[in-house]
Amino acid sequence: MCGIVGYVGQEQASPILLDGLRRLEYRGYDSAGVAVYDGQGGIRVVKAKGRLQVLSDLTQEGTALPGTIGLGHTRWATHGEPSDVNSHPHMSQRGKFAVVHNGIIENYMELREFLENQGVTFASQTDTEVVAQLLEYCYNGDLMATVQKVLHRIRGAYALGILCRDQPDVLVAVRKDSPLILGLGEGFNLLASDVTALIRYTRDVVYMDDNEIALLSTAGVQVFDAYLQPVDKEPQRVDWEISAAEKGGYEHFMFKEIMEQPKAFRDTVFPRIVNNRVVLEDLSLTPEEVRDIDHIVIIACGSSYHVGMVSKYILEKLLRKPVEVALASEFRYSDPFVTERTLCIVISQSGETIDTLAAMREAKRLGAKVLAIVNVVGSTIAREADHVLYTWAGPEIAVATTKAYSTQLAVMYLVGLYFADLMGRIDSNTYDAIVCELLRIPSKMESILENKEHIQYFASIYFNHDSIFFIGRNIDYAIGLEGSLKLKEISYIHSEAYAAGELKHGTISLVEDGTLVVALASYGQLFEKLMSNVVEVKSRGADVLGLTTQRLKESMEKTVDATMAVPDTHPMLLPSLDVIPMQLFAYYVALMRGCDIDKPRNLAKSVTVE
């Protein structure tokens, strides 16, 4: 989604803004722009459709746009096509205000009509421009009072950065339902939609809350509530290294993050296993509260939802309690059935996905307890949930999630074991066996990654297929969902995942000569059933690539065209191994098709609009 960065200080603003925008590129964007106060009574704006390099060239790396205060933006189009004029920052008609915005102004049509009737001429088709025009229309010489007045008139979700020509020593930042972070420096201050844009300049940050307004100057930062009353905010220290958000010699962030999975898994799991027991010191649910849970609803989007799908099988088996998995975008509108004995587990890498956030708020409103599994520390979901468990994956930059998926799954295993133990649903032999295998997962992941050329070879055989089905049963089906999503989001090949038994109820009609079917068969008890489905698709002309375990490999090889095999482990933990060949396959296929792997078309890393 869109990215915001703002700077006020003594250095030249433009190069800092461009650097910040570069660090936000991963979020996905189609145009970019900067606005800088020129020191002579005017705000200069340069913006352009396309990659950041275009903006960089237009401004000669920022040197052609002098000034020490400014705003930058990368836009992911919602209202109005990607174009130079629709890019941010947006200026008010007489050049008094420059505005950058993430989110959506829902009542922009009525505001636009109102302003046009007052003689205001609009330059763009965006919802954002109404904010700039309304600020100028309402301006009475008091900047904060004007901002407050405008906020009363706009509806929707927004993070705003505002620069006013008449008060060129301050930036105003506003947040409602879209993240905004303030970076605190010595003699300078910053604002950004994502900590990655700030980390090169400062590690001391303030997370803005909804309906807060901040005033940034060289001297400091003040935060106010919606009534302009000062709010005391505790600065937080960001402790990850800047190198964690850099490629470090890898061609793509996605590949780097795939390779980082053993470490991410270790960092997430090992500190939480003490003397072979799962210890969740960071979980604030009491044992009594855990025992009281009678129903679990997992809520998430995209790959996080797929983690939920896998977890359903695991938790139901371990806890013998009903577990539902809900798409966040559906949950909130479905009149969901939850009670105070329901635990809603919300899964989100970014902690900012708007659908997940809204669903979580709805679950809380209905009285459910909410446990969030989140990667980004200090994100909105992490702050608003009743209980939080972090996935210590480190910053994930590639749009296609990999290490976040693996660590979310890891936390779900821990939650499953911990709850099962408290609920008295697991015998000690099973518990010990799973914990023992959990500690071996990272080295098994490493052995798959060491043999990645094997998967690269399969990708080189199959990368030209136009239609790919993933089939599996139970957990294998849930992993197939993730394999299919990985492939389609970065390679643009049409792909679907099916519960293998469902094929003959309709979808098998699409299978013909040359269709590729990836058949997942990791579980002995379902192996024969799955192989019958494989025979069905093969007899209709499909090429079949199998994914199984070392133990079942030989049996599978007899029927399929090619086989990938992962090391054997406890069945509950197999998804952590199975997903890696799926990720590598998608990566290599996309590479061979020449796709822009880290910035797939139309996609954004963090989806902050509904």
Residues that bind ligand M6R (CB under 6 A): 301-304, 348-350, 353, 356, 399-401, 485, 489, 606-607
Q: How many CB atoms lie within 10 A of CB 216?
A: 27
Could you tell me which residues are beta bridge partners of residue 345?
A: 298, 371
149: left (phi over 0), alpha (psi -120 to 50) or beta: alpha
How far apart are CB 255 and ligand M6R at their closest, in Å?
14
Is 595 among the catalytic positions? no
- H or E, element range at 72: strand 69-75
CB-nearer residue toward ligand M6R: 99 or 589: 589
How far apart are CB 577 and ligand M6R at their closest, in Å?
19
Could you tell me which residues are beta bridge partners of residue 528?
A: none
How far apart are CB 74 and ligand M6R at their closest, in Å?
17
CB-nearer residue toward ligand M6R: 191 or 346: 346
> Cβ(155)–Cβ(130) under 8 Å?
no
CB-nearer residue toward ligand M6R: 304 or 495: 304
**Residue of 46, 102, 106 whose CA lies nearest to 70:** 46
How far apart are CB 387 and ligand M6R at their closest, in Å?
17
Q: Is 394 helix (H, G, I), strand (E, B) or coil?
A: coil
| SS3 readout for 156-202 | EEEEEEEEECCCCCCEEEEEECCCCEEEECCCCEEEECCHHHCCCCC
CB-nearer residue toward ligand M6R: 356 or 533: 356
> Cβ(14)–Cβ(67) under 8 Å?
yes
How far apart are CB 377 and ligand M6R at their closest, in Å?
14
- What's the angle, vertex CA 303, arms to CA 302 and CA 308, rounded to 5? 100
**Residue of 62, 167, 73, 57 whose CA lies nearest to 126:** 73
Write down the residue that tokens 């930059």 correspond to.
397
Catalytic residue among 176, 403, 444, 605: 605
**Residue of 150, 170, 156 whose CA lies nearest to 226:** 150
The amino acid occupying position 465 is H
Q: What are the angstrom distances between the C-alpha of 482 and each of 62, 375, 410, 496?
A: 41, 18, 16, 10
The amino acid occupying position 519 is A
> DSSP string covering 127-151, please?
STHHHHHHHHHH--S-HHHHHHHHH
How far apart are CB 608 and ligand M6R at their closest, in Å?
10
How far apart are CB 55 and ligand M6R at their closest, in Å?
25
Q: What are the angstrom distances between the C-alpha of 380 and each of 176, 179, 209, 301, 371?
A: 11, 7, 8, 16, 13
DSSP 606: S
Catalytic residue among 2, 164, 301, 595: 2
How far apart are CB 356 and ligand M6R at their closest, in Å?
5
Distance (Å, whole) CA 370 – CA 404:
20
CB-nearer residue toward ligand M6R: 303 or 533: 303
How far apart are CB 605 and ligand M6R at their closest, in Å?
7
Residue nearest to ligand M6R (CB): 302
Is 605 among the catalytic positions? yes
CB-nearer residue toward ligand M6R: 97 or 253: 253
Torsion angles phi and psi, residue 373, rounded to 5? -110, 110
> Cβ(183)–Cβ(201) under 8 Å?
yes
The catalytic residues are 2, 605
